[in-house]
């Protein structure tokens, strides 16, 4: 994937399919999709929650008190407001979160972890860390792991910053 590859013009579907940058991004996307499936399935089997619910538990855990608005949850997960509401409804029914009045704005509502949500986040995270080590880190050479994690952080932040804010 040298400078020459970046300057070469793609003129056929075959060249497009074999382009080093297209292949590299496809591998990244494929690895992410497969890992999400493997790790998400383990969380579902062991903890009874979807990977998306787990992500929301982590977002709420990171936010702490007083909680987060539905809009903030939707933006963190790139969900529509309706999608975020339906997800939080299911999580509330499961006893993982609760909605409370926003102390800053009496008309607004915030979402907080319940004790069961906190316990589930901890249990799922312990399992998740073991699976990340097994499926995400162990296949990589030990000398590359820290740099790879840092590069992923940079890519994630660049992609986040390029996204428009959801209405």
**What band does 111 get if pLDDT is binned at 50, 70 and 90?**
very high
Asked if residues 87 and 68 have their Cβ atoms less than 8 Å apart, the reply is no
**What band does 167 get if pLDDT is binned at 50, 70 and 90?**
low
Tell how far CA 152 is from the center of its chain: 12
pTM, to two decimals: 0.77
Residue 82 is predicted with a pLDDT of: 76
Mean pLDDT of 122-132: 97
Nearest partner of 88 among 105, 74, 106, 107, judged by Cα: 74
The model's pLDDT over 20-46, given as tens digits with 9 standing for 90+, comes to 999 999 999 999 999 999 999 999 999
What is the Cα–Cα distance from 81 to 139, expressed in whole angstroms? 38
| Mean pLDDT of the residues in the chain | 89
Nearest partner of 88 among 111, 120, 59, 114, judged by Cα: 111
What is the Cα–Cα distance from 23 to 28, expressed in whole angstroms? 9
Mean pLDDT of 115-142: 96
Tell how far CA 13 is from the center of its chain: 32
């Amino acid at each position: 994937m040298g400078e020459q590859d970046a300057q070469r013009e793609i003129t056929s579907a075959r060249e497009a399919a074999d382009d080093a940058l297209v292949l590299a991004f496809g591998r990244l996307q494929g690895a992410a999709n497969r890992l999400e499936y493997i790790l998400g399935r383990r969380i579902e089997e062991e903890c009874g929650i979807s990977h998306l619910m787990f992500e929301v538990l982590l977002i709420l855990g990171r936010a702490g008190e007083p909680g987060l608005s539905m809009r903030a949850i939707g933006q963190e997960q790139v969900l529509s407001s309706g999608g975020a509401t339906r997800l939080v409804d299911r999580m509330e029914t499961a006893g993982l979160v609760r909605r409370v009045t926003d102390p800053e704005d009496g008309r607004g509502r915030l979402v907080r972890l319940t004790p069961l949500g906190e316990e589930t986040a901890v249990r799922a995270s312990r399992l998740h860390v073991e699976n990340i080590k097994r499926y995400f880190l162990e296949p990589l050479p030990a000398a590359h792991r820290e740099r790879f994690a840092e590069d992923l952080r940079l890519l994630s932040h660049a992609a986040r910053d390029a996204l428009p804010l959801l209405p």
